[in-house]
Amino acid sequence: MATLGTPTNTIEVLKKYNFNFQKKFGQNFLIDTHILEKIITASGVTKEDCVLEIGPGIGTMTQYLAENAREVVAVEIDKALIPILSDTLSEYDNVTIINEDILKVDVNRIVQEKNGGKAIKVIANLPYYITTPIIMGLFESDVPLESITIMVQKEVADRMQVGPGTKDYGALSLAVQYYAKPEVMIQVPPTCFMPKPSVGSTVIKLTRYEKPPVEADDEKFMFSLIRASFNQRRKTLVNGLTNATNLKTGKKDVLKALEEMKLPSAIRGEALTLAQFAELSNLLSLIGK
Ligand code: SAM
């Protein structure tokens, strides 16, 4: 099987299997070998690594991973792609294909079985609607992982990196920055995909911290506060937190914590840094959630 990352070879495979693109699965396949090589370099994958690839498509990136990593596990939701993947990856004995929705896969088990519980690297090129739940799921479930190299829409990459005072700042920025160091690696124009998407993409690498950059005594509680603050963006932090049905924080307690942090009582959640959310969460835990 020839290397797939060119328009001609991709079209040939798609025709052979009479493949129909599924919009609901966000199927845009890479057709640029330079970009594929750059993603491999950016991910830092070596022959020592076990890699989880989410959404292999017809196996374009998977072929590169099979050549560069020790072991590859590729999880693809679309069953129409499974016979294609068996064909395009038939030369490799270090690739396992799983036909499943990644959100239903027990990634911890894969890490145990394929890498003896040692940290894996994750590579993904996915539709936007699923990016946040996947990233958060991997981080929050404490899957042993070194890094996630992921292709996302440009705005999503911006959202992952920004701090307070920008319109893109939100729960995703704080969550990503609590668990990992985000680095923009490559800009990918629409012409590198088939079919051509309407917007450009960015490859961002999230390298997991061994220890988060701030100390939150109760991580779950801090993230409940963060979510509640950004659910009601136009409200003050005090109102956002006291209106949230899943929190038992009283208005007086939030005001007291803000006073202790020397922050104005009318401040909005979107003005707080990650360190300030951690401090607020620690103070409110002390006062009594
Ligand atoms: N990696 C390939 C490439 O770069 O050419 C394909 C990328 S395409 C943007 C996204 C792929 O993710 C598709 O093959 C799609 O079927 C798959 N996908 C979408 N949602 C998924 C999910 N929940 N779990 C696993 N795979 C999914």
Domain of residue 235 covers: 219-287
Domain final position from 174, 208, 242: 208
Is the domain of 44 the same as that of 175? yes
Mutate to test the pocket of ligand 1, among 20, 33, 78 (most ligand atoms within 8 A of CB): 78
Residue type at position 253 = D
Nearest to 218 by CA among 249, 183, 264: 249
Is the domain of 200 the same as that of 103? yes
Q: Assess whether the C-beta atom of 240 lies below 6 angstroms from ligand 1.
A: no
The Å distance, Cα 58 to ligand 1 centre, comes to: 9
* pTM for this prediction: 0.92
Is the domain of 44 the same as that of 176? yes
Provide the strand spans (E) within 100-179: 120-125, 145-153
Domain final position from 208, 237, 263: 208
In a domain, 44, yes or no: yes
Q: Is 167 exposed, middle or buried (0-12, 13-18, 19+ CB in 10 A)?
A: exposed
* Distance, CA of 202 to CA of 199 (rounded, Å): 10
- What CATH number did the domain enclosing 99 receive? 3.40.50.150
- Taking only the tens of pLDDT, the chain with its 289 residues reads 567 888 999 999 999 999 999 989 999 999 999 999 999 999 999 999 999 999 999 999 999 999 999 999 999 999 999 999 999 999 999 999 999 999 999 999 999 999 999 999 999 998 878 888 899 889 988 899 999 999 998 889 999 999 998 889 998 999 999 999 999 999 999 999 999 999 999 999 999 999 999 999 999 899 999 989 988 777 899 998 988 877 778 889 999 999 999 999 999 999 999 999 999 999 998 875 4
Is the domain of 241 the same as that of 281? yes
- What CATH number did the domain enclosing 274 receive? 1.10.8.100
In a domain, 258, yes or no: yes
- Which protein residue's CA is at the shortest distance from atom 5 of ligand 1? 29
- Which protein residue's CA is at the shortest distance from atom 20 of ligand 1? 25
Q: Assess whether the C-beta atom of 152 lies below 6 angstroms from ligand 1.
A: no
Domain final position from 208, 240, 259: 208
In a domain, 28, yes or no: yes
Q: Which two tokens stand for residue 86?
A: 């068996």
Q: Which two tokens stand for residue 256?
A: 């007291």
Q: Kindly report the number of other CB atoms within 10 A of residue 226's CB atom.
A: 24
| pLDDT at residue number 289 | 47
In a domain, 214, yes or no: no
| pLDDT at residue number 196 | 94
* Distance, CA of 235 to CA of 271 (rounded, Å): 12
| pLDDT at residue number 2 | 62
In a domain, 235, yes or no: yes
Please give the tally of structural domains in the chain: 2
Is the domain of 187 the same as that of 70? yes
Is the domain of 203 the same as that of 241? no
Q: Are 236 and 266 contacting, i.e. CB atoms less than 8 angstroms apart?
A: yes
Is the domain of 179 the same as that of 102? yes
Q: Assess whether the C-beta atom of 125 lies below 6 angstroms from ligand 1.
A: yes
Is the domain of 80 the same as that of 194? yes
Is the domain of 143 the same as that of 196? yes
The Å distance, Cα 57 to ligand 1 centre, comes to: 5
Is the domain of 106 the same as that of 145? yes
Ligand 1 atom nearest residue 78's Cα:
16
In a domain, 52, yes or no: yes
In a domain, 17, yes or no: yes
